[in-house]
Structure 1
Amino acid sequence: MSNENSEISGPMLPSKRQDVLPQRVYLLNFDITNLPSTLQFLALCGAVFFFYVGYGYFQELIFQLDGMRPFGWYLTFIQFGFYSIFSFSEMKCSGGIVRRIPLSIYAQLAFYTVATMGLSNASVGYLNYPTQVIFKCCKLIPVLIGGILIQGKRYGCWDLLAASLMSFGLILFSLADSQVSPNFDPRGYIMISFALVADAIIGNVQEKSMKNYNAQNKEVVLFSYSIGCVYIFILLLITGELFDGFAFFWNNPWKTYGYSVIFSILGFAGVNVVLTLVRITGALMAVTVTTMRKAVTIIVSFILFSKPFTMTYVWAGLIVLSAIYVNLYSKNKSKWDEYIFSHFRKRKIDHQLLTLRV
């Protein structure tokens, strides 16, 4: 699960359960079921913006530290460690540790989780942060390819149009970045591209596994991150980054470990809030909120961290935004068409009634 990538790749997929009684609505551990639905929605939206804008701020802030650039994987190791602790505590408090998916599948899921989050974190050292955020918005492209190759899915013209628009928007954003960024480094694009490919694979594998074994999100989060933490530990040992990273972080623990702890808490909390938002409002509203959150993150990044700006960023972002909604329309075409046509029919009837009265 990549945080929002998740917004959130795999573990963000809500498990499909049909309860007889209405489910309780929680904002983290606070029960907000008795609040009016509007207040529930506003509280969850506020939490999404707070946690994820803060998550993005601290992620970029960490990489502003002199010498931090090579230690993206060490940061990911710390993040995986905290996510494992948080998810373990959450499962313990909610009924105990239960595993339904075989460990062999979790070994694969952990590998792809490590790839998507590790490469995503590492890419921040080589990319403008807004560029990284835009790329993460476009995981439809590898998800579409992964769905065809892994699950044999078929996609219609609206999905292909959305993927094409996203590709065009990414090209524009990348060209703008190469023209105005003095630190343009192709390695960042390679890292974030591979992160998206891993994200596409993990999303499809998790969806299939959770359906086949009726597993819950908490279980997938715990085992994916705990096994992934072992993977990263071995990788850091082999490359020698474990000791170099520890020495670098220990030289300034308040700004390194301190920022990393806050970064991890905000990310884990954000994942849980988005899951709740998806469950009570549906995918369309959740995507709208998280997309607006990403737009705010990009604006905050330009305001708080000095970086060059060009209007091409705006046009490229709008193209990607339109692609996201084309993709949503393709998934909800019949429902949206019914709503649009009923709206026009109502307006036509109202106009006819008004004409008769006149």
Structure 2
Amino acid sequence: MSILRLGLCVSGVYAMFLLWAVAQERLSVPFQSIDGQSADRFKSALFIGICQSCLGSLAALIYIYMRGERGSSPCSLLGLDVVTTNGLSKEKTDGSRSTKVSSNERARKADTATSGRRSPCSLLLLGYLQCSLFISIAAPFGFASLSHITYPTMVLAKSCKLVPVMIMNIILYRRRFAPHKYLVVAMVTTGITMFMFSGKERPSKGSNESTSQSPYAQLIGITYVLVDIFLDGAVNSTQDEIFLRYKVTGQQMMFWMNIFSTLLTLILGTLPLPYIPVLHPSTDARFELASALVFVREHPSIVVPLLQFSLTSALGQLFIFETLQHFGSLTLVTITLTRKMFTMILSVLVYSHWLTAGQWVGATIVFAGISVEAWVKRKDVHAKRVIEEKEKAKIKTL
């Protein structure tokens, strides 16, 4: 049963995110208008975010209710009956709270002082909101970068999340890391630099926009990707902090983050904002959501890749959290690492990208660096298991 479940998880992650990657790249190139006289690029990353997060929250909700215990209250199923993992408090569904004095409580005094009288539940929701805000801002930058750099370049850059995650953990939460992680960061940085500056191909074939031929276009695209992955790093470090402090499941986090992302993007999409590069690129008098709907009506060929992108993202997240729950982060790292390699290769084959020898060398260095991280994690997990087995053997002898 375990092998069957692992095979299902691996197949699900591969199938969903490989299709997701194909749809994402398709959304970045021009679409033929319904009259066949023009081809225009879809610029509304906010509308794409609304579709993606809406389906993501719906998929998470269905999963939670299907896998939840019978008789559980909605509050319990959605993770609002908060149990903190640091021994500070437990907030039950009837509103009562039990406290436990420990050394961890003294260590969290500063956090308690700043949070005032907020309940653990409200602090947890604020953490979800923070993650959603970062995601809602980051996604448009990643989408906009495809107007200036090729999709394989963006895929490789997005696979290097370790760098911003480490930096944001150091800046936001004052964490320190093992020496090998800095070696991994150096390898990843070197590889991605070689890949980006060894390429000769223009992005988004078929585009007639002058920005894609500007000598500064690649620099702009790299800047957008850096903003995207640094915000992703802030999301990952905040997620680590939430899992450290609260006893919640991945599906509960997925639901709340997607709900908040949907609300935030809907608000931004319906506000009469002026022209803002990346975040609000509409130049007409309509608000962003109206402009996006008009584009969809005039370019119906966008509907299929948009649905494919949103649906595969929602289902892919479920497979990721299922893998994390039953097989741990080490297995998930291995799956996502190989998936990103196949994503880049698939993009090269499907969309006829041409990579130079320097780009292949750079990609090899990047994936070698990530493999070092996976190997060290495997070693650490094995060492911990050995210690646990020894402790169990001692208890049995007693």
TM-score band w.r.t. shorter chain? 0.7 to 0.9
Match of 2:24 in 1: 59
Match of 1:137 in 2: 159
Deviation of 1:229 (Å): 1.6
Does residue 181 of structure 1 match 2:202?
A: yes
Among 14, 29, 54, the residue aligned to 1:81: 54
Deviation of 1:69 (Å): 4.5
Among 154, 159, 168, the residue aligned to 2:176: 154
SS at match of 1:45: helix
- Specify whether residues 172 and 84 from structure 1 end up closer, same or farther in structure 2 by C-alpha distance, changes over 3 A only: same
1-structure distance, mates of 2:261, 2:13: 25
2-structure distance, mates of 1:222, 1:285: 23
Q: How does 1:247-262 map to 2 (within 5 A)?
A: 247-253=294-300, 255-262=301-308
Structure 1: tracts of 5 or more residues without a match: 1-34, 340-358
Match for 1:40: what amino acid? R
2-structure distance, mates of 1:40, 1:106: 29
Match for 1:79: what amino acid? Q
- Specify whether residues 47 and 88 from structure 1 end up closer, same or farther in structure 2 by C-alpha distance, changes over 3 A only: closer
- Specify whether residues 107 and 204 from structure 1 end up closer, same or farther in structure 2 by C-alpha distance, changes over 3 A only: same
- Specify whether residues 132 and 233 from structure 1 end up closer, same or farther in structure 2 by C-alpha distance, changes over 3 A only: same
TM-score w.r.t. the length of structure 1 is: 0.77
Q: How does 1:3-22 map to 2 (within 5 A)?
A: none
2-structure distance, mates of 1:278, 1:218: 10
2-structure distance, mates of 1:219, 1:280: 16
TM-score w.r.t. the length of structure 2 is: 0.69
Deviation of 1:88 (Å): 3.0
1-structure distance, mates of 2:4, 2:53: 33
SS at match of 2:43: helix
- Specify whether residues 334 and 105 from structure 1 end up closer, same or farther in structure 2 by C-alpha distance, changes over 3 A only: closer
Does residue 243 of structure 1 match 2:290?
A: yes
2-structure distance, mates of 1:295, 1:63: 20
Match for 1:212: what amino acid? R
CA deviations on 1:304-343 (whole Å, 9 max, x unpaired) are 113332122211111011110222344444556899xxxx
CA deviations on 1:109-148 (whole Å, 9 max, x unpaired) are 2201212333323333432111111011101111111121
Match for 1:61: what amino acid? R
Is the 1:71–1:122 contact (alpha carbons within 8 Å) kept by the matching residues of 2?
Answer: no
Mean alpha-carbon deviation: is it higher for 110-119 or for 134-143?
Answer: 110-119
Match for 2:364: what amino acid? L
Match of 1:304 in 2: 350
- Specify whether residues 130 and 322 from structure 1 end up closer, same or farther in structure 2 by C-alpha distance, changes over 3 A only: same
- Specify whether residues 203 and 53 from structure 1 end up closer, same or farther in structure 2 by C-alpha distance, changes over 3 A only: same
Specify the structure having the higher radius of gyration (Cα). 2
Match of 2:128 in 1: 106
Q: How does 1:1-358 map to 2 (within 5 A)?
A: 35=1, 37-66=2-31, 67-93=40-66, 94=68, 95=72, 96=74, 97-99=78-80, 100=82, 101-102=121-122, 103-177=125-199, 179-181=200-202, 183=212, 184-236=217-269, 237=271, 238=273, 239=280, 240-253=287-300, 255-334=301-380
Is the 1:329–1:336 contact (alpha carbons within 8 Å) kept by the matching residues of 2?
Answer: no
1-structure distance, mates of 2:370, 2:62: 35
Identity between Structure 1 and Structure 2 (%): 20
C-alpha RMSD over aligned residues: 2.4
Greater helix share, 1 or 2? 1
